[in-house]
A = this chain, B = another copy of it.
Amino acid sequence: MLAAERRDHLLALLAREGKIIAKDVAAELGISEDSVRRDLRDLAGEGLCQRVYGGALPVSPAVVDYHARQAVAPDGKRKVAAVAAGLVRPGGALILDGGTTALAVVHALPQDLACTVITHSPTIAAALLDHPQAEVFLLGGRIFKHSAVACGAAAVEAAQNVSADLCLLGVTGVHPEAGLTTGDPEEAAMKRALAARAADTYVLASSEKIGTASRFRVLPFEEISGLITDAAPHDPVIEQLAARGVEILMTD
C-alpha cells in the first residue's frame, strides 16, 4: 500500500464516516497504528483534518470534501488574500467572488470579524460558517460546475437587490489590452453584476495571471478601484496599469 494511497483512503473515510478511529483503520488496512497516527498528524498539519485523541475528525465537516481535492492554496494566493482581507472593514458589507483566491480571503479574515458577506459561491458560504459574526447572504441561481458558483439570469437578478462597500473579484487574466478576463461568458456577466453593486471593486490576481487573457472580458481597467497582486515589483504590465490610474496593492 502506497503512502499517498493511504492518505487518500483516510480522507475518503473521513468524508464518508465523519470520523477516523486510528485503531480501526490500522486493522482494516493491515498497517500499524503508528503509521496511521503519522498520516493523521501530517494531514492535520495541512489543515485537512482535525486530530483528536483516538483518531481524527473533519476540520469543518462541510468543506472537507472540497479541501481534500483542492490542494492548499499556493503561497501567492495566500499573500494576495491576506492583503485583500485587510481591506475589509468591520461592520462593512463585502461582495466576494467565488474561486480559490476568494476562499483564501475567507481564511485570511479574522475569525470574529463582524461584517456582511454577499457571495454567489456555496463554497464560500460554507467556509464562512465558522465566522460566527459574519452575516452571509447567498445569491442563488444555477450552479456552474466548473467554477462552483451560481450564475445565469437568476443569479444576476438576485445581485440587483444587494449593495456593498467593497467587491473582491477573481479573474483568470489581466492583460493591458484585453483588460480583465475570464473563461466563461456567464461568469463574466455575473462578475460584472457583482462589481456594479459595490462602491469599490478590487481585483485579485496572483502573479501567474498577469499578462494573460481569457476569452471573455469582465471589465475594463477603468471600472475597478484597484488590483491586488504578488507580481514582481517592476513587472511591466503592472507599471503600465499603474500609469493608467489603477491602484496597485502589492504583497510584500
Name the segment of A40-48, A121-129, A240-248 touching the other chain: A121-129
Question: Would you list which residues of chain A between 148 and 187 have a CB under 8 Å from chain B?
Answer: 148, 150, 154-155, 158, 161
Give Cα distance in the complex from A46 to B107, angstroms.
23
Question: Would you list which residues of chain A between 1 and 52 have a CB under 8 Å from chain B?
Answer: 2-5, 8, 15-19, 21, 50, 52
Q: Which residues of B contact A155 (CB under 8 A)?
A: 140
Least CB distance, A59 to chain B, in whole angstroms: 10
A143 near B123: Cβ-Cβ < 8 Å = no
Name the segment of A64-72, A202-210, A225-233 touching the other chain: A64-72
A62 at the interface (CB under 8 A from B): yes
Name the segment of A89-97, A130-138, A191-199, A212-220 touching the other chain: A130-138
Q: Which residues of B contact A58 (CB under 8 A)?
A: 70
A145 at the interface (CB under 8 A from B): yes
Question: Would you list which residues of chain A between 103 and 120 have a CB under 8 Å from chain B?
Answer: 107, 120
Q: Which residues of B contact A63 (CB under 8 A)?
A: 126
Least CB distance, A43 to chain B, in whole angstroms: 15
Give Cα distance in the complex from A139 to B148, angstroms.
14
How many copies of the polypeptide does the oligomer hold?
A: 2
Give Cα distance in the complex from A211 to B139, angstroms.
37
Once A126-B126, A137-B140, A140-B158 are accepted as A-B contacts, the answer to whether A71 and B57 lie under 8 Å apart by CB is yes
A74 at the interface (CB under 8 A from B): yes
A125 near B122: Cβ-Cβ < 8 Å = yes
Q: Main SS of chain A's interface residues?
A: mixed
A145 near B123: Cβ-Cβ < 8 Å = no
A236 at the interface (CB under 8 A from B): no
B19 near A126: Cβ-Cβ < 8 Å = no
A76 at the interface (CB under 8 A from B): no
A251 at the interface (CB under 8 A from B): no
A150 near B143: Cβ-Cβ < 8 Å = no
B141 near A55: Cβ-Cβ < 8 Å = no
Give Cα distance in the complex from A4 to B143, angstroms.
35
- Knowing that A67-B129, A154-B161 are A-B contacts, what are 10 other residue pairs whose CB atoms are under 8 Å apart, sorted by A's residue number? A2-B53, A5-B57, A62-B122, A63-B126, A66-B129, A69-B130, A136-B142, A136-B143, A137-B141, A138-B138
